Structure 1
């Protein structure tokens, strides 16, 4: 054991020594890299700030000069012009205003001292003015004072003198102070130079050179660089107006230099930082080295305790596996309990969504029974009963589709739909409920540009009834429920019409907490007056899923005891023809007028239910069709075989029949060796799932109609299939 500890100790010491050595070298490299990177970043930021400040000053000065120029151009009186320019010069801090003439002469208009001004390096200034470009330049008085000049090109006259630019100027010290180019204590200072290296502003009194490029040449030689190549590269980059940086080291002091061009001039900003200015950074790196030592000690400690930790972690891992298995089992049990509870609540509270249309059907049927002597009322009640029955059918389909909704497999049946008709349908179903509570129910439909749209009308109707029935249910007697529908054209997609549906009430409202979970399944607010209200808590979850399937949005705003507002936004594609009337059409009358071009056609109906046959017979014979009844699939096959060629135009085929079902019958007819064996066969069945429809088509049928039948759909399907066959 002793030998083991000795070997272990030696190993730890060797490992620690190696770690410290590697760490020391690594920290030294970090220090060097940090110094270089921080200098670069600091200089770039400082240079960028100065450059931005320079641009601001130039723009301000040129703007002030343009203001003076405008006054000179808009005034004809010589004395007034001179007075205005004098006042403007004092206000803006100009010590010189001049007129730059076509021949290059600079005529003094205003000056605080009576001295001649010469533009240094005039050729670039003259070229820019000729090209109608604002320009800054350096001016020099007879006494040697330097001025910061700004030239604004414009043709103007003062008295008998004509100029091509107004030139304004002020002391050069103003620019140096404004730009803060001197050393502010951080070791960083800046110069402004021309392309030839001559100084515009010089801030290093220790330097003896009068040309910056001469200084660079000496620094390059001291750094062991090729001075000629360095100068050539600098001149080329300055000619190309590039930003660039250089690093010089003369053995005692290292310099970082950053170069950036200044706008409206041939000048360059040179920012310098001696590396000694980064002592604080080095100190920071020393602190980092100390932290690294601490980390190294921690590593050694970790090596010594490694065996124990590994053992501890292994044991802990085994414990965690057992605990996780236990937690998973408890979670599975809780999930199963929750699922069972949800199913129980669903089955016990399903009346919330089903009772609304049933209530309308029973109420309207009672009214119809009591008013048999009034044909118009009877017709109105029967139409509304049909609408409520359709909605009830849609609800039953929704209940069957609930698993699809939860699995994200909800599908829409997009068909041409009258928006007004769908809205009015929902309104007519909900009105009796509102009247029963003496509530005011308002319906506002306005700005409907496209009544006929592609939409799933059953799903949309379901959404409306979910929202409206909740509004009526959670609004007290004598309250108000409002349904508003309007349209606009969305900017991002003009092919669609944006439809807004707003349901408002002044009922009991909802808390902010409940508004966050209102669209979750089985969610109901835990309040006494709500818990007494029937419902499953599925309505809003179904509504949200339907709106999502439409690609729309639904938002809610609500306050306790003030009411609620639900706002639905849907982008629906218009279709033709448009429907402009608010009143619901009489479908049967419309069909009777059109006749669908099927008068006198012989239709064989395979239907084992006598009541269903009677309904089909009464509805279809009104449109001039001749119907023949086969009570099962076998009889249907026999009647077709015994018929003359092309006697039947189509067959309406039930699926579930005794003796021979619809699938077998269809396959048998298609296999007959007679020319009309390919006549249209249309399924007319209560099997409405997608797999049922596919099975019908696979057996040889041409189309599918769901029970209870919609006469308009039946006639349209017959016409389409028969005409297509012909």
Structure 2
């Protein structure tokens, strides 16, 4: 018994000892683990904060550089445009004032060698920190600074080197312009009052350039001492010293300032073109509270675990592990969010991506349709036409992407050519159809009083304007919404003369609309409505700025009216020169016709256009009333000779109406479907319903003339590629290193009767020309980028040969290098002309006629 009691006592002692030891180990382990996790949490938060702060600083710095670069480039553009060699100083000043005002500057001054400012425009300005500003200008550097006008308004100054005569006879060393300080201060503002971070722009001595605290404290350093009087002054002084040293060396500075009352993550970087530094501060108040709450919960859990059995401890350890893992996952998610916020892209390519995909989608889709209907000649021809239109527009967009730097620097040029407004509108309608169909939207096209279908204009830029407006309308209009494109003409103002016609282009939608605040800045680069309504909408905000620039360059105007949730109307006015062409006599017999469409405006314009080509037309707005009119005329034995029938009608649609008309009048009367939608998607059903053919909206006069005559026994011969007998038999030498391009070129030119020989590079081209008899080749088509010997070298080598035709044989550049400097390079090397790829057969034949015949 004693032995058993002794063993029991020993067991009890062991259990008690083990339990106490387990408790002590558990307490120590949890205390150690708690401290360790506190350290890990703090380090992780500091790391995430540092990454977040770095990203935010980089973003603000990049935005600052963009704002400053834009204004400095505008000032430099003024110095490039305004010559200092004009006859009078007043004329120079007047020109300078005009140039800076149109670029949005409020002040203009010239700086002399002794650093005195001569104000030309605006109130007098006193600089806050003049020495580094003037020293940089003396060195020919671009510089920004801040100052204050005589009325107490803070301004930002932009200085660039410029030598203009001053009123006192001196010659300036720099041109200085200024805008209100709000131009850069807005980039530091936040929309919420409880923003997570706040920023200042300071000088090396801590004085504020831009800050919400500038009214309370003279500088950032003083604000630390005054805001935290109970903190250790030595710790603040060490922080200030480190920050000052980093600013002096223009290095980035990152630090966690641990104060008893508040902890802060500090990040500082230098700003370009200035002696300024961006200081961003992340208070840890909310984060510290979260961490402290988490630590309090962990302590309570630890105390509970100590009071329970080992199994409970295991469960708690397991639960703790899960909590820790979840915490790390959340911290990693927060870190990824912070990194994603720093990768915001505002490049022009991302802005244009949706515009590029639109014609590309049309090309891919039409290619698939043509492949599926390869035996249907009319279907394939229609697809190829739309592919060509989309390809031409896509090529224009690519040129715009490559030429964007010229647009933003004000060096964009227009290529004026004869265009058909009918073809432009039809092409745009075809391109936009895919977008409209995807959102089940209603798309209407109105034309009225078209006095000149053919005009002179830059077709690529006009397409860009139309596609930009329509794409935005589709984007910002909900599904089943309505979009309307209208075009009408009137006589141009007297100062333009009778050779011009005024064109009104209106795009109207019932989409989400815009606020008055956003409307005031819609034409600014990168402007985009900051609203939850458009968070998932693509676009970087360059579209309307570019559209405005193009319209201004064309000498036109643009006006926008919009209300939130009611829609937007954009009105563009362009005065375009009429094309001098010999118009065909568009007259048809006086047929009796019925126009059926639920759009009353379209009915009126269509009837007017039909009347102008000799047709007597009635109109009605519904299928039911159309059937009544058809039935009435049939009973009177005076049937309509042709019916134009809209596809989408209220109540009975166009196909249902067509079936009923066939029951009344039989099969003899042509019924033509009209629609702005693609005929291919409902052609089979339409044919089955008794539809004879299709005319695409908008209904221009020429569209109606050519579309109707083929259904009344007056069809024109099918269009084919006509051989030009003047060029038949001409032998050409084509230098082209790409086999597919050679195959295309040979096929196109062989169809018009010409004979081609292939040279795979410039060296082979030179050899074949040397080996030929004079006059054997009538012309050379020369690619530029080729191996062994490029087109420039081959042309120069041919021109240097001592044979009678070396100087006279036409050499035409045929290359994808299509910028103006590329054309100049070709001509300078000895080529006669330049045509850009992809190959435009009409242009190539025109050039060959010009130089051969």
Q: State the TM bucket, normalised to the shorter chain.
A: 0.5 to 0.7
Q: 1:536 aligns with which of 531, 535, 540?
A: 540
In the TM superposition, residue 365 of structure 1 has moved relative to its aligned partner by 2.2
In the TM superposition, residue 721 of structure 1 has moved relative to its aligned partner by 2.1
Q: Does 1:697 align with 2:827?
A: yes
In the TM superposition, residue 661 of structure 1 has moved relative to its aligned partner by 1.0
Q: 1:710 aligns with which of 825, 833, 840?
A: 840
In the TM superposition, residue 479 of structure 1 has moved relative to its aligned partner by 1.4
**Match in the other structure for 2:437:** 435
In the TM superposition, residue 320 of structure 1 has moved relative to its aligned partner by 10
- SS of aligned partner of 2:787: coil
- Contact 1:637 / 1:668 at 8 angstroms: preserved in 2? yes
In the TM superposition, residue 521 of structure 1 has moved relative to its aligned partner by 1.4
- Contact 2:732 / 2:778 at 8 angstroms: preserved in 1? yes
Whole-angstrom distance in 2 between the partners of 1:314 and 1:615? 65
**Match in the other structure for 1:679:** 809
Whole-angstrom distance in 2 between the partners of 1:696 and 1:665? 11
Q: 1:616 aligns with which of 739, 745, 753?
A: 745
Q: Does 1:605 align with 2:734?
A: yes
Whole-angstrom distance in 2 between the partners of 1:584 and 1:697? 44
In the TM superposition, residue 703 of structure 1 has moved relative to its aligned partner by 0.5
In the TM superposition, residue 483 of structure 1 has moved relative to its aligned partner by 1.0
Runs of 5+ unmatched residues, structure 2: 1-125, 136-144, 147-202, 211-269, 280-341, 584-700, 708-716
Whole-angstrom distance in 2 between the partners of 1:319 and 1:389? 54
**Match in the other structure for 2:461:** 459
Q: Does 1:405 align with 2:407?
A: yes
TM superposition outliers: structure 1 runs of 4+ over 3 Å: 313-337, 340-350, 582-586, 588-591
Runs of 5+ unmatched residues, structure 1: 1-312
Q: 1:377 aligns with which of 367, 376, 379?
A: 379
**Match in the other structure for 1:418:** 420
- SS of aligned partner of 2:392: helix
Whole-angstrom distance in 1 between the partners of 2:750 and 2:486? 41
Whole-angstrom distance in 2 between the partners of 1:680 and 1:609? 22
Whole-angstrom distance in 2 between the partners of 1:599 and 1:674? 26
Residues 1:710 and 1:429: Cα distance change in structure 2 (over 3 Å): same
Q: 2:775 aligns with which of 624, 646, 661?
A: 646
Q: 1:582 aligns with which of 700, 703, 718?
A: 703
Q: 1:552 aligns with which of 548, 556, 580?
A: 556
Q: Does 1:663 align with 2:665?
A: no
Higher helix share: 1
- SS of aligned partner of 2:724: helix
1:317-336 paired onto structure 2 within 5 Å: 330=271, 332=273
- SS of aligned partner of 2:846: helix
In the TM superposition, residue 460 of structure 1 has moved relative to its aligned partner by 0.5
**Match in the other structure for 1:566:** 570
* 1:540-579 Cα shifts (integer Å, max 9, x gaps): 1111111111011111111111111111111111122167
The higher-RCO structure (CA 8 Å, 6+ apart) is: 1
Higher deviation after alignment, 711-720 or 421-430: 711-720
In the TM superposition, residue 378 of structure 1 has moved relative to its aligned partner by 1.8
In the TM superposition, residue 331 of structure 1 has moved relative to its aligned partner by 6.4
Whole-angstrom distance in 1 between the partners of 2:441 and 2:452? 31
1:216-295 paired onto structure 2 within 5 Å: none
**Match in the other structure for 1:244:** none
Residues 1:319 and 1:572: Cα distance change in structure 2 (over 3 Å): closer
Residues 1:491 and 1:618: Cα distance change in structure 2 (over 3 Å): same
Higher deviation after alignment, 603-612 or 490-499: 490-499
TM-score of the two chains, using structure 1 as the length reference: 0.52
Whole-angstrom distance in 1 between the partners of 2:765 and 2:580? 39
Whole-angstrom distance in 1 between the partners of 2:766 and 2:704? 45
**Match in the other structure for 2:229:** none
TM-score of the two chains, using structure 2 as the length reference: 0.45
* 1:635-671 Cα shifts (integer Å, max 9, x gaps): 1111112222211111110011111111111111112
- SS of aligned partner of 1:597: coil
In the TM superposition, residue 498 of structure 1 has moved relative to its aligned partner by 0.8
Residues 1:590 and 1:404: Cα distance change in structure 2 (over 3 Å): farther
- Contact 2:816 / 2:837 at 8 angstroms: preserved in 1? yes
Residues 1:699 and 1:321: Cα distance change in structure 2 (over 3 Å): closer
* 1:131-154 Cα shifts (integer Å, max 9, x gaps): xxxxxxxxxxxxxxxxxxxxxxxx
Residues 1:694 and 1:448: Cα distance change in structure 2 (over 3 Å): same
**Match in the other structure for 1:488:** 490
- Aligned length in residues: 408
